[in-house]
Structure 1
Amino acid sequence: MSEESENEPGDGSPFTKPGFIAAAVVLFIVVVMGGYLAWSYASGDEPAEDEEPEVSQVGEAAPTPSNEEKEEQTKQDSVCGLSGEASAGSRLARGPATGAWDYDGIMPYPVSEKYGPAAEEDGYRYCYQRTPEGALFFAANAVEQGESDHAEAWIDYAVSEGTYRDELVADVSGGRSEDIRMDIVGFRVLSFDPDSAVVHLAIDGQSQGQTVQLSAEFDLAWEDGDWKFNGDVEEPLSMVPVGGHGSQVVRWSQGD
């Protein structure tokens, strides 16, 4: 890393700590935040501008599927019996209602009896509806779970089978930083079909009096009855600093 980074603004902050660059971006979200920002300051890059807005549409619920062979049905059904599906191309024009925004330490995450998480094991939460809302709730919960004390058990569950699964899971280390807080302020569902989804989250990160606006993109796959990071994608989570969240983001935060 260039020596020019030593005197950049925010020196010493967890957001800019050198050495935080992770090869597998999905692994530890706080590490990813610090690493990318350290690289950005050192290279002199300006924060990226938001992309052009996409038109959101409210998706229609998929028709009840026909009877299938037991093995295939088991693969598709919710791992915990959570009902609800949506058709390919579904979008969200507004933030879904939450049952509450709960906390693990100082990190907020949304919960819903309808969309998930609907189950818990070894300290981590799982089981989300097979809809754009369920994919969104998975991503929003991942912001907290990737930085929690149960990160190792969670990530082993939360990455699908695929080319990069072993690499993505191998380097996880649990542990919480009480100096960093991340608040979700909005989202976009960039694509959706019953077997895959791409979700964008607009996040405000705070540490030691600093606020950094972040854009996070989650590439997800439906496997064994739940949403998971796509193990066939080298970076199923990418997170970059931005100059603003933009008007195209659907606002969604605590209180919704």
Structure 2
Amino acid sequence: MTQRAISLNLATTRQVWGFAEAVDGCLRAGITAISPWRDQIAAIGLDEAARIVKANDLQVTGVCRGGMFPAETAAGRQANIDDNLRAIDEAAALNADCLVLVVGGLPGSSKDLPGARQMVTDGIAAMLPHARASGIKIAIEPLHPMYAADRACVNTIDQALDICETLGETVGVAVDVYHVWWDPRLAQAIARAGRMKRIFAHHICDWLVPTKDMLLDRGMMGDGVIDLPAIRKMIENAGFYGPQEVEIFSQDNWWKRDGDEVLSVIKERVASVC
């Protein structure tokens, strides 16, 4: 397989580096693509973040995150849409490849999963005119079913692509291996996304056995059970060759390590096991 670039999702070093420090670390490591989170952008200021991106000719593979659409009231849903409009402005200021959506789960005490998914579709539809006018693609990130209640009621690539088909070509998917590796229809779903030209991002890490915390115990590539080369081949066969974005939430391991060490290991693992 051909060599592909690395993007650092800044969640991977969030406990040791802010936005500027992470960029400096990436440049030392020869990494020229990043994916920041909105709180990290806010901490340094949008104007300064944009200046750093432009001054260093960085590719911003995504801004994390928009979404969280479902709410119990119309006013709550509108407030969530308004926040997504601000997220689009932030992504546009950084010339990001896409705005990544974690769409949200069941609102309040609801048990209506189809209803929550409809709120997601309606919310994305409401933000789309501004996204298109701003030149920002929208990437729905399906999350593992364990998050269906509280974080994301869209749990498979196929579910995300159904929304994409409804809303049009500037809405696609972010394929995060942590969330989709288990799907028995993964190969077919990625191929479908390729035919639709809707793969906008490819996130990598690993699933540890045992996993101590379902949110904050992701593994470094090669330390778990995900067949990373197989998924990469599926994604490349589907026509996506963008950077592999490393996104590792690891409160008890990688978040405690020196950032330069983390990037060194990332480079080695991407070269050897991805």
Report the TM range for the smaller structure's normalisation.
under 0.3
User: Structure 1 or 2: larger strand share?
Assistant: 1
TM score, norm. by length of structure 1 = 0.26
Q: Normalising by the residue count of structure 2, what TM-score does the alignment of the two structures yield?
A: 0.25
